[in-house]
Every structure is written in structure tokens, then in C-alpha cells.
Amino acid sequence: MPKDKKSTIKVQGTAITIISHKEDDFISLTDMVKNFDGGSALIEQWLKNKDTVLFLGIWEQINNPDFNSIEFEGIKNEAGRNSFYLSAKKWLKATNAKGLIASAGRYGGTYAHKDIAFEFGSWLSPEFKLYLIKEFQRLKEDENRRLSLDWNLNRTLAKLNYRIHTDAIKTHIIPPSITKEQESFVYASEADVLNVALFGKMAKQWRDENPLREGNIRDYATIEQLLVLANIESMNAEFIRMGLPQSERLRKLNRIAITQLQSLIGNVNIKKLNHGNQ
């Protein structure tokens, strides 16, 4: 089984594993049949059904550009005969399908893309399918809620550090006698130091490139970028107090941003922030 993010839902007393694989959700068919008479044999019984083969083929043709349609035609022609046999592994090997995952071992079994798993649920029991969909949706809502909370927490942290940043600008850069318009220009210029260091572009450049989006470049930042933004805002405030010129600060902050992003991307704890606790 690939090392993908795993979650568990409970449907009518049955614990069912869900894995996020290549940005898609796959549900364990092996778990789904645990409390049904026939157990795992039901999966192969379902797979040999001609309607199932047709459904799987159509799903792959829509979602999988590498699907072997020639092999599929051969399987489709055989489906429905008494001697016809089809396992998940045979289907995957013959057609290069992507909608099923089959693996051995303690944590193995047969997994199906959620579209296919719901179809299998209908075949098992319409009632079971409805509860499965309900619990799956609840899981996704919880994950989205956690993601939103984590993102807003880091956005708030960035805003707090922005106050430290602007205070340093006001104390050490803005002259005593200056118009409000000139003051705004200085703040915007320093904000763009951070934008260029982290995002590689100024706020106006981003707006020109995204005329249909509301908000600003920071509203579309990832959690990793927000964490780095909070750090470099504090560092820039300190660099300002040290009297470093803007060009030097920009070079330093850009190097720091690159290093920190490289450290954060792929970090297990950041993945948990992005996807919620497993």
C-alpha cells in the first residue's frame, strides 16, 4: 500500500479506511464488505458483472488517458459468461486502470476511487451507500474546516507581525515631515519588499495578472508561505532597525524565504496542517 494519508469513517458499525492517493480519495472495498455475508468474495462477484465492467470502462475512459481501451474491449466481450473471472489485480494489469488499487499485506486490500466505491455501495445495499456518502461528506467537511482554521491562524499571525513591521518602518524610515500620500507609498514599498522576496512579484503585478480575483496576493498564499511571511516580516523589521538599505534587505530576505520554504515543503507537521490530523 502506498504511503498515502489515511482516514477512517464508520458506516453502520463498520470502520472503513479512506486514503488520499495522488490528490484523489480512494475507499477500501475490502472494509466495506466486512459485515456482509460473503466478505471479500463479493468484490470479485461484483467485478465479473457485465454492468460493472461497463461502468469501470467508462470511468477510466473519462478519467484516465493511459487506459488500455483495446484490452478493455476484450474483457467487455467476455463479461457475463459463466466462465468469466475478473479480479482487481487482473483488471489493473490488463487495462492500466487507475480507478482501483489492489495490494497485499496487513494494511492492503482493494481500494476504489470514491466514484467507483459509491457504485459498489449501491450494489451491496442502497441503504449502506447512503450512509457511506453521508459519512464521507462529513469527513470532507471536517477536513475543510480544519484547513480553514489553520490557514486563518497563520494569516492572523502574519497580520500581527505586519504591525511589528510597520512600526519599524514608521520609527526608522519615515521622515518626521511627510504627507499621508508619501507615507502610504513608503509602507507599500516595504510591503513589496516582502512580496518580491517571498512571491517573486509586487502586489500591483499580481493584481494585473489576476484581474478577476478579489483580495491581494497574500490572500491566496499557502500555509507554508504564510509561515515564512510571518518570519521574514519580523526579520525585515530587525534589518530596518539595523539600518540596512532596502536592496540588501531584499536579497537577504529572498535567500531566507527560499531556504525556509524548502525546509517546510514536505514537512510532516506542515502536511498535517494542510490536511488535518490523520
pLDDT at 60 over 50: yes
Confidence of residue 164 (pLDDT cuts 50, 70, 90): low
Say whether pLDDT at 278 is over 50: no
Residue 63 has a pLDDT of 94
Residue 154 pLDDT: 59
Task: Average the pLDDT over 166-189 and give the result.
Answer: 69
How does the average pLDDT of the chain come out, rounded?
A: 83
**What are the residues whose beta carbons fall under 8 Å from the beta carbon of 155, sequence distance 6 or more?**
218, 219, 221, 226
Residue indicated by cell numbers 540596512: 244
Banded model confidence at residue 140, pLDDT cuts 50, 70, 90: confident
Structural contact between residues 132 and 12, judged by C-beta atoms closer than 8 angstroms: no
pLDDT of 236-263, one tens digit each? 888 988 999 999 999 999 999 998 888 7
* b/e code 8-47 from CB counts within 10 Å (16+ = b): ebebeebebbbbebeeebbbbbbbbbeeeeeeeebbeebb
Is the pLDDT assigned to residue 108 strictly greater than 80? no
Model pLDDT for residues 122-133, shown as the tens digit of each residue: 999 999 999 999
Q: What is the pLDDT of residue 276?
A: 43
Check residue 177 and give its pLDDT: 66
CA separation (Å) from 278 to 1, 63, 241, 259, 263? Answer: 16, 27, 43, 28, 22
For helices 180-199 and 223-241, the axis angle rounded to 10 degrees is 130
Give the CA dihedral 96, 41, 120, 1, nearest 10 degrees. Answer: -50
pLDDT at 107 over 80: no
pLDDT of 194 strictly over 50: yes
The arithmetic mean of pLDDT across residues 206-221, rounded, is 84
Counting every residue, how long is the chain?
278
Q: Would you say residue 185 has pLDDT above 90?
A: no
pLDDT of residue 187: 73
Average pLDDT over residues 41-61: 95
**Helices 223-241 & 246-264, crossing angle to 10 degrees?**
150
Which pLDDT value is given to residue 74? Answer: 94
Please determine, for residue 134, whether its predicted confidence score (pLDDT) is greater than 70.
yes
